[in-house]
Amino acid sequence: MKQWKYAAMVALVLTLLVSVFVLLPGEAQAAEPETVGAAYDFSAIQEPTLVKRDGVWYYVKDGAVCMDTTLVKYNGEWFYVKGGTLASDTTTLVKFNGGWYYIYKGKLAANTTTLVKFNGEWGYVVNGKVASSTTQLVKYNNEWWYVVKGKVASNTTTLVKYNNEWWYVVKGKIAGNTTTLVKYNNEWWYVVKGKIASNTTTLVKFNGSWY
């Protein structure tokens, strides 16, 4: 008899607990996150575009908010969207249709030519796009950098020809304060302030000897 009463009490407690979970679901489990833009009706919008609602720009296509991370063209300009909305606080490089583009505060910086740091490397951006086929010297912050296929060659020390003159590059940057002898293609060249002194005839002391 005592065992029967104990079992009945356990059953009653379990029943009460189940009732609490059914009647108070908000306290028993976390609410599901609200869908982005769910408060608005976008069913009439089929073509990919940006739509502003209550101060927020949504990426909409096929009648609903699209959660893709991509670039979207709007009013003749390109914008970066992520998680269904315009990423207006984002400045980065973004890969799109096989190329890399410079996004400044959520918008393609189409008129910008500069060096941009991304993932620990510096990329050369021309008119908003990484110039992946460009190899040359580039001026940035009053210094000159050696760019190879769109990226600063930060591990390269060599001589580089630019505007019909030869420049001494050390770890990707012109060594503008350096005067020394430099070996290149099995020959030695006299560099003065980062540039080959092609019209100079003189004696030069290097590593304790005169040349």
The pLDDT of residue 78 is 98
* DSSP annotation string for 137-203: EEEETTEEEEEETTEE-TT--EEEEETTEEEEEETTEE-TT--EEEEETTEEEEEETTEE-TT----
Query: 180 vs 183, 191, 192, 210, CA distance in Å?
Result: 10, 5, 7, 12
pLDDT at 96 over 80: yes
With residue 27 as reference, give the H or E element that holds it.
Answer: helix 25-28
Cα 157 from Cα 175, distance rounded (Å): 10
Q: Is the model's pLDDT at 11 over the cut of 80?
A: no
Q: What is the mean pLDDT of the chain?
A: 87
Would you place residue 70 in the very low, low, confident or very high pLDDT band (cuts 50, 70, 90)?
very high
Please compute the mean of the pLDDT values over residues 18-38 and round it to a whole number.
Answer: 52
Residue 191 has what pLDDT?
A: 94
Q: pTM of the prediction?
A: 0.78
Residue 23 pLDDT > 70: no
- Phi and psi of 19, rounded to 5°? -60, -40
Q: Residues 174-178: what's their mean pLDDT?
A: 96
Is the pLDDT at 98 greater than 50? The verdict is yes
* 105-147 per-position pLDDT tens digit: 999 999 999 999 999 999 999 999 999 999 999 999 999 999 9
Q: Which residues are CB-neighbours of 76 under 8 A, at least 6 positions away?
A: none
